[in-house]
Amino acid sequence: MMDMFNWQNASQQAAVLVEKKLADLLGERDQDFSLLFEGMRYSALAGGKRIRPFLTLSIAQLFGGDEEPALSFAAAVEMVHTYSLIHDDLPCMDDDDYRRGRLTNHKVYGEAEAVLAGDALLTMAFEVIANAPADADCRIRAVHALSSAAGARGMVGGQMMDMKAERETPSLATLRRLHDCKTGALIRASAALGCIAAGVQDEDILASCHTYANGIGRAFQIVDDILDVYGDSRLLGKNTGQDAKDGKTTYLSYMTKQEAMQEAVTLTEQAKDALRPYRGSEMLLSFADALLNREK
């Protein structure tokens, strides 16, 4: 079980658990599929913050859930997140050469191979949920939560909005919705999956977790926009200034750095207020602060 009072220890423990689970799931021995699985492992096991699986595991533990179904759901959400990064980095999307401090998937394996690695991770995520050690109702709810967040009205829809925003400058309201879909949907789903793994049915708890995840998700994107301008590329593991290079509209297109940071602070406090009433939530409150104050 994870340390519920120290987010750094807990996030490290979660990362180790998820890395092992992903390595087990992606350890294909059939030589006909070896290149595909190599590409999947290259991105899925490349490290990163593991924010989404950490949320799933920590919220499941907060509300008394068993680790095994939560770990399956956490691995599934990280697979979906990784697939989205592989596809986002493609020349037809953001055209990035580096991710997490090393060459992007398509730079190593080729564009078609990267597309297939992403496709395979996306579909395998739902296989993992289907095989999770949980009852059928729990697995159905998990499939619905993750597929809704990842699909046309969630992450994929947000990516389409992002591409449109490169041609037509969005309003601030549209920009917020774009990020609520592209980034926020999967973060909210991660929290929902933690609740599902714990068997939570109480509407107040579900609403509190949704508010928490929504707040940290929005704040995360604002800080991301700030770091793209003012961050250290060596710490970030990717080039800074990419948004300006791509002509993207960001929060800094509408507000100063100080104004953007104040909005992120407000969102973080709202998120913390939602979980504060629950005993044992201290670690997640500290985690929200850490995301706000991160340098990478």
pLDDT, tens only, 12-30: 999 999 999 999 999 988 8
40 within a domain of the structure (yes/no): yes
122 within a domain of the structure (yes/no): yes
Mean pLDDT of 134-152: 98
2 within a domain of the structure (yes/no): no
Q: What are phi and psi of 98, to 5 degrees?
A: -130, 145
**Quick check: 166 pLDDT over 90?**
no
Largest Cα separation within the chain, whole Å, is 54
Q: Percentage of the chain with pLDDT > 70? A: 93
pLDDT score recorded for residue 272: 98
| Number of domains present in the structure of the chain | 1
Task: Write the burial class of residue 165 (CB in 10 Å: 0-12 exposed, 13-18 middle, 19+ buried).
Answer: middle
Query: For all residues of the chain together, what is the average pLDDT?
Result: 92
**Quick check: 220 pLDDT over 60?**
yes
1 within a domain of the structure (yes/no): no
Structure-block tokens of residue 34: 């070896």
Domain region containing 49: 7-292
243-250: Cβ within 8 A, 24+ apart: 246/94, 246/166, 247/166, 248/162, 248/165, 248/166, 249/165, 249/169, 249/170, 249/175, 250/175, 250/225
Cα gap 226→174, rounded to integer Å: 19
Cα gap 159→154, rounded to integer Å: 9
Query: Residue 246: which pLDDT band, with cuts at 50, 70 and 90?
Result: low
241 within a domain of the structure (yes/no): yes
139 within a domain of the structure (yes/no): yes
Cβ contacts of 158 within 8 Å, gap of 6 or more: 178, 179, 180, 181, 182, 183, 185
pLDDT in tens, 192-209: 999 999 999 999 999 999
CA 12 to chain centre: 16
pLDDT score recorded for residue 233: 64
At what angle are helices 185-197 and 51-62 packed, to 10 degrees? 30
pLDDT score recorded for residue 238: 55
- List the CATH number of the domain containing 49: 1.10.600.10
3-class SS of residue 50: coil
Query: Residue 184: which pLDDT band, with cuts at 50, 70 and 90?
Result: very high
pLDDT in tens, 46-82: 988 899 999 999 999 999 999 999 999 999 999 999 9
Residue 198 and residue 55 in contact, taking contact as beta carbons nearer than 8 Å: no
Cα gap 62→59, rounded to integer Å: 5
Mean pLDDT of 225-238: 73
pTM, rounded to two decimals:
0.92
Query: Residue 174: which pLDDT band, with cuts at 50, 70 and 90?
Result: very high
pLDDT score recorded for residue 43: 97
Residue 189 and residue 53 in contact, taking contact as beta carbons nearer than 8 Å: no
**Quick check: 295 pLDDT over 90?**
no
pLDDT score recorded for residue 207: 98
Instruction: Please name the residue that has the structure tokens 């080729």.
Output: 110
259 within a domain of the structure (yes/no): yes
